[in-house]
Structure 1
Amino acid sequence: MIVLRGKGFLAIATLVAVCATAPAAVADTSAAERTALLEAQRSGHPVELTESLEAHSRTVAEPGGTLTTSRSVHPERVRTPGGWVPVDTALRVVENRVVPGATTTEVQLSGGGGQPLLRLADSGRSAAVRWPGPLPKPELDGNTARYRQASPGVDVIARVNADGVRLTVEAASAGPLRFALDTAGVTVRDRDGALEFVDGAGQALFAAATPWVGVPRGGDAAQRPGRFAVVAPGAVEVRLPEGMSGPVAAELSFTGAKPNWTMVDSGFAKVSYWNSTGSAKAGTYDAGEHRLRSFFVFDTRGLSGREITSASVTGMENWAWSCAPRPVELWRTGPISKATTWEKQPEWLAKLSTLSVAKGYGSTCPSGPVTFDVTPLVKDAAVQGLASVTVGLRASDETDNHHWKRFENNPVLSVVLR
């Protein structure tokens, strides 16, 4: 068994090496694949096909004569003038700006003073968020920048990911949060309490997901959806849930508008989680009042006509209600979109796999990978020539808190083929 390690909810793709003779493996492959397979067999080590590298996918030739392609929901690599490099979210200061090493959406954070708090850019088009007042110099730690006392009684924490920024605004007292927006080449569109930044053709380049607001470090039950509202040209407000008072923490996600995952919650049945940078969740934390499910889209282009040996989806579970294993299910579902909510969730078509696991509660059951077999799904996609497939994650019992699980939100599909 060979393991490729990546980032995200389904961040570890388990690759199953299947024995095959060299002539059979080479016969139905491209010239680049034949070369890689022969080198893998000669050296006894996996060989990556550099021609196949993309932001979300990679293919490896195995010494046993098979090919393994891995496809993630969020990007794992970034194209640079020097070629593909791994995503690097570690922050550094460059000319009084704070920037990550390599992300698919160009990200800049404020180095302090009157600079925008954050700026996302793509091919000369950009959207920037300005804090209402000068910012202190940030404290940097890995992918995180903390602006202490950004306003009296308010701290702002920015966490950079592969394609955007997650802001946490911690305030000593509840009240609307207002920002100025600077845009170039895009216009702002209010979408049911979330925001889209669209170009002249109506294509969404950036997005701000539904804000989530709770008490600082209050856990899942403490969070409720707020709303973004465009209150004037170039100004946006985060409206807090009704009845909130005292210290609050608002979670705001700003991303390139390309993620292919979402979540639904029966307790907030009309709310979309599209583009969220939070965890993927399944089950309930309050005996069924809130039932959560997560959905992911995988790219299956290039598999048509190929012989699929095996396929799996592997995820990093980072929270369970206890160390007592409980089943979680992966299903084939209908398609998802930014309009997907609990009331408008896709059809659940077929159960693919059920696993009884508990990871992430504590040192006796630490966070770890969970692998679901999806071979029939991918074989069917290859036969039908499908460009993508959608899967849904849900608890087997959505009224029992012991089934509650949280996962990182970047799935990886691993396919072994001849």
Structure 2
Amino acid sequence: MVEDVQAARQFAAECGKSVEVLSERSETTQVFVDASGVGRLVSSVVPQRVHRPDGSWADVDTTLRRVRDGFAPVATTADLTFSGGGWGPLVTWREAGSTFELRWPGVLPAPRIAGDTAIYDGVLPGVNLHVIAGRDGFRHVLEVLTPEAAAGPAVRQVRYGLGGDMRVTRTADGGLDLAGAGGEPLLQASPAVMWDSSLSADAVQPAATGSGTESSVAASTADAGDGGDLVSTARGPGEVASSAAVGVAVSTGDLVLTPDTAMLSAPASVFPLFIDPAFSKQRSKWAYATSNGENNDTTYARVGLSPDSGARYRSYFSFDTSAMSGKTVLTAEVQMKLYHSWSCDPTWVHLYRTSSWSTASGGRMSWTAHPLGSAATWLDSWAGNANKTGGCGSTQPDASAVFEGSTLLNDVKAQVLSSSSYWVGLCACNPTD
């Protein structure tokens, strides 16, 4: 790698290989120049690397390590510390000179550390608390082990303390916005949801394709997150888990979560139950929409029909293309990783270019805000399947979805002339819908 484009061209020509332009590197983008002098931009919707204070770069590594005040991820875009136990904050987040603290209303036990997760056992009778480091934030999840635990008043209304100097406000859809002293937006939390551990194969139905959040667009100027498990865990619901919205309120320095009473007490609920919100710092990178307006966890992007609720899902992605400004685009493609599909056979998904949008990363937008089908610009289609249940005769591996072709190329060429971002949407709808 070299510092500027001109030096990269010279070095690539002399060495006969592709060279990265270091000055163009960001948390989500890289620019390379090949031996012929042609450049290539790779842009992702989730952070791939971290720029450290000493100027060096490191690949994202969410593994927790011991630090003076507790535990912290090795390398992420969020400056986080998780409690090592005791009365201190459960989570401390420092961002742009401001601090956010999330507190558990009691003494925390020393956590068990499992990779990127700190697990505080027995914070309430029959309840464990998981705190999970992500690429750009964290999620805190209560694991309710039994119906008896679910009946407790401290589970029926969960109260976390808020500290630090960030101002926390509730959004209209039940999420949270966190702002610095000057009112500048710094962090956000997605609407809270809860899910059970249902495994009934009878609930599975052939449906449209689901897609992982790890997405990238690559263009020549001449990789959300991993998929979740199929069995419910603190990371997200299983394939056929029941889910419900969780009430969120901010009151006198507290974050108050009110889980769905019906799910807590329903005989059909399969334990353990999980109750979460997730905090992140990234904005305008990806979002989803549901036909019935339901919220869901943001473990991975969804496309198609939910076998649980029957809702239709669409996912939207925003790519930074500023490095292509003023360049002649020769090729373009959008790549997605399909982690799991509910269908055993290939199903079609369609990629569209949308107008610009802005929402919290992983946030939900209105179903009608950016319609796809005939209301958007069709770019390409792809069919595939990756069913992990084993009910198809065997477990199917991940599939790489690649969208390309002249329609996409011509659209990228036109868009980079007037915009530094490229917005697309993915759906299981027909182009005429």
TM-score relative to the length of structure 1? 0.80
Listed as ranges, the matches of 1:17-56 within 5 Å are: 32-56=4-28
Q: CA deviation at 1:268?
A: 2.5
Matched, 1:341 2:361: no
Report the secondary structure of 1:45's partner residue: coil
Q: Which residue of structure 2 lines up, in the alignment, with residue 412 of structure 1?
A: none
Q: Which residue of structure 2 lines up, in the alignment, with residue 102 of structure 1?
A: 75
Listed as ranges, the matches of 1:148-227 within 5 Å are: 148-171=121-144, 172=146, 173-174=149-150, 175-184=156-165, 186-192=166-172, 193-216=174-197, 217=232, 219=238, 221-227=241-247
Q: Which residue of structure 1 lines up, in the alignment, with residue 285 of structure 2?
A: 260
1:271-306 deviations in Å (ceiling 9; x for gaps): 5x7xx6421000003398310111111122232321
Tell me, in whole angstroms, the C-alpha distance in 2 between the residues paired with 1:31 and 1:125: 32
CA contact (8 A) 1:292 1:394 kept: yes
Report the secondary structure of 1:280's partner residue: coil
Q: Which residue of structure 1 lines up, in the alignment, with residue 209 of structure 2?
A: none
1:240-293 deviations in Å (ceiling 9; x for gaps): 224222442112101115352111111225x5x7xx642100000339831011
From 411, 418, 421, give the equivalent of 1:377.
411
Q: Which residue of structure 2 lines up, in the alignment, with residue 411 of structure 1?
A: none
* Higher alpha-carbon deviation: 78-87 or 100-109: 78-87
- Give, as a single letter, the amino acid of the residue that structure 2 aligns with 1:393: L
Tell me, in whole angstroms, the C-alpha distance in 2 between the residues paired with 1:127 and 1:31: 36
Q: Percent identity?
A: 28
Pair 1:94–1:51, CA change in 2 (3 A): same
Matched, 1:57 2:29: yes
Report the secondary structure of 1:268's partner residue: coil
Q: Which has the higher contact order (CA 8 A, sep 6+)?
A: 1
Matched, 1:324 2:345: yes
Q: Which residue of structure 2 lines up, in the alignment, with residue 350 of structure 1?
A: 377
- Give, as a single letter, the amino acid of the residue that structure 1 aligns with 2:34: E
CA contact (8 A) 1:340 1:346 kept: no
Listed as ranges, the matches of 1:249-328 within 5 Å are: 249-268=274-293, 271=295, 277-286=298-307, 289-328=310-349
Report the secondary structure of 1:202's partner residue: coil
Q: CA deviation at 1:391?
A: 0.7
Report the secondary structure of 2:13's partner residue: helix
Tell me, in whole angstroms, the C-alpha distance in 2 between the residues paired with 1:147 and 1:44: 53
Q: Which residue of structure 1 lines up, in the alignment, with residue 46 of structure 2?
A: 74
Tell me, in whole angstroms, the C-alpha distance in 2 between the residues paired with 1:243 and 1:364: 34
Tell me, in whole angstroms, the C-alpha distance in 2 between the residues paired with 1:164 and 1:287: 28
Q: Which residue of structure 2 lines up, in the alignment, with residue 15 of structure 1?
A: none
CA contact (8 A) 2:241 2:308 kept: no
Q: CA deviation at 1:325?
A: 0.9
- Give, as a single letter, the amino acid of the residue that structure 1 aligns with 2:15: S
- Give, as a single letter, the amino acid of the residue that structure 1 aligns with 2:369: Q
- Give, as a single letter, the amino acid of the residue that structure 2 aligns with 1:294: S
Tell me, in whole angstroms, the C-alpha distance in 1 between the residues paired with 2:413 and 2:309: 35
* Higher alpha-carbon deviation: 248-257 or 306-315: 248-257
Q: Which residue of structure 2 lines up, in the alignment, with residue 392 of structure 1?
A: 425
Tell me, in whole angstroms, the C-alpha distance in 2 between the residues paired with 1:357 and 1:315: 11
CA contact (8 A) 2:324 2:416 kept: yes
Pair 1:227–1:64, CA change in 2 (3 A): farther
Tell me, in whole angstroms, the C-alpha distance in 1 between the residues paired with 2:180 and 2:10: 46
1:33-75 deviations in Å (ceiling 9; x for gaps): 2321232232232211111111121111123432111111222
CA contact (8 A) 2:169 2:178 kept: yes
- Give, as a single letter, the amino acid of the residue that structure 1 aligns with 2:258: R
Higher strand share: 1
Matched, 1:243 2:262: yes
Q: Which residue of structure 1 lines up, in the alignment, with residue 229 of structure 2?
A: none
- Give, as a single letter, the amino acid of the residue that structure 1 aligns with 2:365: T
Tell me, in whole angstroms, the C-alpha distance in 2 between the residues paired with 1:287 and 1:103: 33
CA contact (8 A) 2:290 2:367 kept: no
CA contact (8 A) 1:317 1:360 kept: no
Report the secondary structure of 1:244's partner residue: helix
CA contact (8 A) 2:191 2:277 kept: yes
Count of residue pairs brought into register by the alignment? 362
Uncovered stretches (5+) of structure 2, i.e. residues with no partner = 151-155, 198-231, 266-270
Q: CA deviation at 1:360?
A: 4.8
CA contact (8 A) 1:221 1:285 kept: no
Tell me, in whole angstroms, the C-alpha distance in 1 between the residues paired with 2:387 and 2:333: 21
1:9-50 deviations in Å (ceiling 9; x for gaps): xxxxxxxxxxxxxxxxxxxxx993232123223223221111
Uncovered stretches (5+) of structure 1, i.e. residues with no partner = 1-29, 399-418
Report the secondary structure of 2:10's partner residue: helix
Tell me, in whole angstroms, the C-alpha distance in 2 between the residues paired with 1:207 and 1:57: 23
Tell me, in whole angstroms, the C-alpha distance in 2 between the residues paired with 1:133 and 1:242: 24
Q: Which residue of structure 2 lines up, in the alignment, with residue 365 of structure 1?
A: 396
Pair 1:371–1:35, CA change in 2 (3 A): same
- Give, as a single letter, the amino acid of the residue that structure 2 aligns with 1:190: R
TM-score relative to the length of structure 2? 0.78
Report the secondary structure of 2:23's partner residue: helix
- Give, as a single letter, the amino acid of the residue that structure 2 aligns with 1:249: F
CA contact (8 A) 2:82 2:91 kept: yes
Report the secondary structure of 1:181's partner residue: strand
